[in-house]
């Protein structure tokens, strides 16, 4: 994806801030977790919360762990993952958006680190239990890395673009964002039926 220099600068700041957390989250999401957490590594709050949740041990703890931490993304990136003023999502046919969203979900070119959403989230993997909740809702990574008490689904797509994918958030009015958001809505329905 081509970027102008402002966006590049945002990305650089973010990568600096999340240099530690991204590989950790990758391990958490991909490796089935247990080996790491049993040794109680001092992980950043989001990874810790996600890790606990992923193991089903931290029911109800995610919130407490993540709160009060001012760590995470740069101010610029915190703003970039929030819905902008006067936000109007791309308006398209839901079915065609879902199809495009599925392709994007598997597309490693969306990230700067070779990952796709599917790397972490195939078959409902990698989510905390909060994914079942009605949006907007509390998400540990949203709070710990971006200071958000609640996130909308499109903001969650942007958060995963910015943090684990180490990329810039998508354009807010883009078809890509609408497509991924629609696809994630369908993924959420499946997740709820687990
Ligand atoms: C390196 C692994 C990784 C990649 C790649 C990744 N994510 Fe995530 N994602 C996570 C983790 C970890 C969580 C759990 C965060 C939490 O609960 O604090 C998560 C949570 C989510 C959630 C649910 C949040 C909730 O609880 O409501 C959505 C939606 C999501 N990701 C979408 C995406 C999309 C879309 C992409 C691709 C653009 C993506 N993710 C790529 C690691 C990843």
Q: What are the boundaries of each domain within the chain?
A: 5-192
Distances (CA, A) of 93 to 6, 107, 155, 171, 172: 32, 21, 20, 18, 17
User: Which pLDDT belongs to residue 13?
Assistant: 58
178 lines ligand 1 (CB under 6 A): no
Instruction: Please report how many Cα atoms fall inside a 13 Å half-sphere around the Cα of residue 78, on the Cβ side.
Output: 16
Full pLDDT tens readout for the chain, 194 residues:
445 666 666 656 555 555 545 555 555 555 444 333 333 333 444 444 444 444 444 344 444 444 444 568 999 999 999 999 999 999 999 999 999 999 999 999 999 999 999 999 999 999 999 999 999 999 999 999 999 999 999 999 999 999 999 999 999 999 999 999 999 999 999 999 98
d(CA 14, ligand 1 centre) in Å: 17
- Tokens (6 digits) for 59: 């029911």
Which of 121, 131, 146, 166 to probe ligand 1 with, by most ligand atoms within 8 A of CB? 121
Closest ligand 1 atom, residue 135 Cα:
27
104 lines ligand 1 (CB under 6 A): no
Nearest CA to ligand 1 atom 6: 117
Q: Which pTM value belongs to this model? A: 0.74
∠ CA 175-181-182, rounded to 5°: 90
d(CA 3, ligand 1 centre) in Å: 23
Tens of pLDDT, residue by residue over 31-63, are: 444 333 333 333 444 444 444 444 444 344 444
User: Which residues, 6 or more positions from 135, have their beta carbon under 8 angstroms from its beta carbon?
Assistant: 151, 152, 153, 156
User: Which pLDDT belongs to residue 17?
Assistant: 55
User: Which pLDDT belongs to residue 48?
Assistant: 45
Q: What is the C-alpha to C-alpha distance for residues 157 and 167, in angstroms, rounded to an integer?
A: 11
Q: What dihedral do alpha carbons 145, 153, 79, 46 form, nearest 10°?
A: 0
3-state per-residue secondary structure call for 55-91: HCCCCCCHHHHHCCCCCCCCHHHHHHCCCCCCCCCCC
């Amino acid at each position: 994806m081509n970027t102008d220099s402002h966006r590049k600068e945002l990305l650089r700041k973010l990568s600096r801030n999340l240099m530690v957390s991204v590989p950790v989250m990758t391990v958490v999401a991909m490796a089935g977790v247990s080996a790491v957490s049993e040794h109680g590594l001092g992980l950043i709050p989001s990874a810790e919360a996600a890790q606990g949740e992923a193991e089903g041990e931290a029911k109800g703890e995610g919130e407490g762990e993540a709160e009060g931490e001012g760590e995470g993304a740069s101010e610029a990136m915190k703003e970039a993952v929030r819905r902008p003023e006067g936000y109007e999502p791309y308006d398209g046919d839901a079915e065609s958006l879902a199809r495009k969203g599925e392709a994007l979900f598997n597309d490693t070119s969306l990230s700067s680190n070779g990952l796709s959403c599917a790397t972490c989230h195939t078959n409902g993997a990698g989510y905390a239990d909060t994914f079942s909740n009605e949006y907007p809702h509390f998400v540990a990574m949203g709070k710990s890395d971006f200071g958000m008490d609640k996130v909308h689904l499109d903001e969650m797509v942007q958060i995963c673009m910015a943090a684990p994918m180490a990329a810039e958030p998508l354009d807010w009015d883009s078809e890509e964002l609408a497509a991924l958001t629609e696809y994630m809505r369908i993924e959420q329905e499946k997740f709820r039926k687990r």
